[in-house]
Amino acid sequence: MSALHDAFEAARSEGRAALIGYLPSGFPDQAAGIELATAMVGSGVDIVEVGLPYSDPLMDGPTIQAAVHRALLGGSTVARVLETVSAVAATGAPALVMSYWNPIERIGPEPFAQRLAAAGGVGVITPDLTPEEAGPWRAATQAHHLDRVFLVAPSSTDARIAAVAEVTSGFVYAASTMGVTGARGSIGSRARELVSRVRMASTLPVAVGLGVSTGEQAAEVAGYADGVIVGSAFIQRILDAPDRAAALAAVRSLAAELAEGVRRPPA
């Protein structure tokens, strides 16, 4: 069992879903980003997704795009991403990298996997990598004991869900709705149905992302999923903060609210 699986098992043993937080590395700057990511863990986040900033984030909404742009302007590099991963791993929480395939392919699946494992990372979420093209990545991650996380969406056919589940080793990322990332006023009703469909094809944990921004929404999703993923809501709190201290307080407050939400008994 990997550290990622252990985190899901620990949450399950407490009768709740795991809370997964996302921040792009280097946002709002490298030092502050590390402080904010580790503060997430201190305030109740179980697993951290460290975003690898990329210049063409087609699946990301305006909030994440703004954060990624700022990180790139600040000189974000793969080395800095791995520095963030190491800092999160030092807290004891599993650290995943969220990355489009192009940066990994440019470095090479094997070298990237080797560097991530050396930094203490436990796996990678690859939102735009398809199962049909994942052969070299599967080999590299298996060689370095890293988990692979692939995505499904409400539009995914049962055959596509089965194909994704077959190449996934960490958890299945269930996008709650079609479209780009971003906090929403409500979570689409199709998310619950999607989780059920994934569970018919796989025994892996299923985590729901795209849209969760409040403790109430976290509680709703935790009622049927194994994990609740929150990204844009954290970023927006940071973007709205007047300074680093305020950003830190805002992230801690939101993490605590979400952590309470995933622990709330079903209504």
128 belongs to the catalytic site: no
Following DSSP, what letter does each residue of 106-146 receive, concatenated? HH-HHHHHHHHHHTT--EEE-TT--GGG-HHHHHHHHHTT-
Structure tokens at 181: 């990332």
Cross-strand pairs, 124: 97, 148
The answer to whether 68 and 51 have CB atoms below 8 angstroms apart is yes
- DSSP conformation class of 265: P
Set 9, 14, 29, 49: catalytic member: 49
pLDDT band at 176, cuts 50/70/90?
confident
DSSP code, position 254: H
pLDDT in tens, 35-60: 999 999 999 999 999 999 998 767 77
Six-digit token string for 106: 């440019």
Query: How many residues are given for the chain?
Result: 267
Q: Measure the CA angle with vertex 58, ends 167 and 114; round to 5°.
A: 45
Domain ranges for the chain, please list them: 17-262
Does the reported pTM lie above 0.85?
yes
Closest CA to 127 of 105, 157, 101: 101
User: Catalytic pick from 6, 29, 35, 60?
Assistant: 60
pLDDT digits (tens, 9 = 90+) for 185-210: 445 578 999 999 999 999 999 999 97
Strand pairing of 151-152 and 227-230? unpaired
- Is residue 49 flagged as an active site residue? yes
Q: Which CATH superfamily is domain 17-262 in?
A: Aldolase class I (3.20.20.70)
